[in-house]
C-alpha cells in the first residue's frame, strides 16, 4: 500500500524540512512535550496530595468496614461506565490478584466485565438497570458495592447504589466534579470526590484513592488476623 507523500507532508511538515529546520522543529517539539509532561505531573501530584489529605480519616474508616466484611466472607462488586468500567475491572483484579507479598486474595467481581449480562440487560430491560439486576442477584449483606462515576450522576450507577443500599451492602463511591447525584442521594456510605472537571484528572484521582484504600484494607485484614490468632 503506497503512502500519499503530500498527505504525509501536511501531517508532518517538519519531516520534510531541511536538516537545520528539522533540528529546530524537533528541539521545539521536545521542549513542548517536556513542559507539558512536567505540568501534568505537577497537576496529578497536587491532586493526589489534596485527596489523601482531605479523605485520610474516611479512607481509614472505609477500610475498616470493608475489611470486616471481607473477614466475614463478603465480596466486592465493582461497576462503572466507559473508562470507569476499566477502573472497576482494575479494582476487581487488584482484589483477586494480590499486589504485594503478604496480601490476601479477596473475592471480587467486575460487573461491566460480564458483557453478555450487560448487553442483554441493556437490550431487554434498559441501560439504567445493567448493574441493578446483577446486584439484586448477587449482592448480600456482607458485600461491598464499589462504584465509579466521573460525573457522579450516571443513572445506572445511582440506581445501582440504591439497590445495594436496599440489600444492606456497604456502598463506596468514587466521583468527580461536585460529587453529583451520588454524593447527595443518601445511598452511599463513603463518597470520595476528585473535585476536578477534567475527566483524566478525575480518573487519576480515583486510581490514587482506590489503591490507597486497598492497601489500608489489607492492613486491616492483617490486624484482624493477628487478633484472631
pLDDT at 161: 98
pLDDT for position 4? 52
In terms of domains, do 81 and 135 share one?
yes
Establish if 92 belongs to a structural domain. yes
Which ranges of the chain have pLDDT less than 70?
A: 1-26
Tell me whether residue 7 is in a domain: no
Residue 164 lies in a domain: yes
The total domain count for the chain is: 2
Grid cell locating 50: 489534596
153 and 210 part of one domain:
yes
pLDDT value, residue 144:
98
Q: Is the alpha carbon torsion for 191, 98, 44, 154 positive or negative? A: negative
Q: Do both 127 and 213 map to the same domain? A: yes
Domain of residue 217, residue span: 55-228
- Tell me whether residue 196 is in a domain: yes
CB 149 within 8 A of CB 187: no
pLDDT of residue 1: 46
- Whether residues 152 and 202 fall in one domain: yes
| Grid coordinates belonging to 1 | 500500500
Tell me: do 90 and 167 sit in the same domain. yes
Look at residue 173 in the predicted model and tell me its pLDDT. Answer: 98
75 in the same domain as 35 = no
Examine the domain organization and report whether 213 and 125 are in the same domain: yes
| pTM of the shown model | 0.85
| pLDDT in the model for residue 29 | 72
> Is there a single domain that holds both residue 28 and residue 117?
no
In a domain, 87, yes or no: yes
Question: Which pLDDT tens digit goes with each residue over 105-150?
Answer: 999 999 999 999 999 999 999 999 999 999 999 999 999 999 999 9
Per-residue pLDDT tens for 82-99?
A: 999 999 999 999 999 998
Q: How far apart are CA 7 and CA 213, in angstroms?
A: 49
39 and 64 fall within a common domain: no
For the sheet with 170-176, list strands across it. Answer: 108-110, 76-80, 144-149, 170-176, 190-194
Distance CA 141, CA 101 (A): 29
Pair 25, 79 in one domain: no
Is residue 2 a part of any domain in this protein?
no
Pair (24, 127) in one structural domain: no
Same domain, 43 and 59: no
Say which CATH number the domain at 81 has: 3.40.50.10490
In a domain, 69, yes or no: yes
Residues in the chain, total? 229
User: Does 5 map to a domain?
Assistant: no
Amino acid at each position: 500500500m503506497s503512502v500519499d507523500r503530500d498527505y504525509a507532508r501536511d501531517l508532518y511538515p517538519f519531516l520534510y524540512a531541511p536538516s537545520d529546520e528539522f533540528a529546530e522543529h524537533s528541539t521545539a517539539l521536545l521542549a513542548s512535550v517536556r513542559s507539558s509532561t512536567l505540568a501534568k505531573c505537577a497537576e496529578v501530584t497536587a491532586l493526589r496530595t489534596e485527596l489523601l489529605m482531605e479523605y485520610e480519616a474516611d479512607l481509614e474508616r472505609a477500610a475498616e468496614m470493608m475489611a470486616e466484611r471481607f473477614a466475614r466472607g463478603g465480596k466486592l462488586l465493582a461497576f462503572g461506565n466507559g473508562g470507569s468500567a476499566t477502573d472497576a475491572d482494575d479494582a476487581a483484579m487488584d482484589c483477586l490478584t494480590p499486589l504485594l507479598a503478604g496480601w490476601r486474595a479477596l473475592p471480587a467481581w467486575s460487573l461491566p466485565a460480564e458483557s453478555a449480562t450487560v448487553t442483554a440487560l441493556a437490550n431487554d430491560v434498559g441501560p439504567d438497570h445493567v448493574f441493578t439486576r446483577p446486584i439484586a442477584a448477587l449482592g448480600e449483606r456482607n458485600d461491598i458495592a464499589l462504584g465509579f462515576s466521573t460525573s457522579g450522576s450516571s443513572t445506572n450507577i445511582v440506581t445501582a447504589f440504591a439497590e445495594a443500599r436496599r440489600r444492606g451492602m456497604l456502598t463506596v463511591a468514587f466521583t468527580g466534579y461536585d460529587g453529583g447525584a451520588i454524593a447527595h442521594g443518601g445511598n452511599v456510605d463513603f463518597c470520595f470526590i476528585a473535585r476536578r472537571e477534567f475527566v483524566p484528572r478525575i480518573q487519576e484521582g480515583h486510581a490514587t484513592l482506590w489503591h490507597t484504600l486497598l492497601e489500608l484494607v489489607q492492613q486491616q485484614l492483617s490486624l484482624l488476623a493477628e487478633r484472631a490468632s
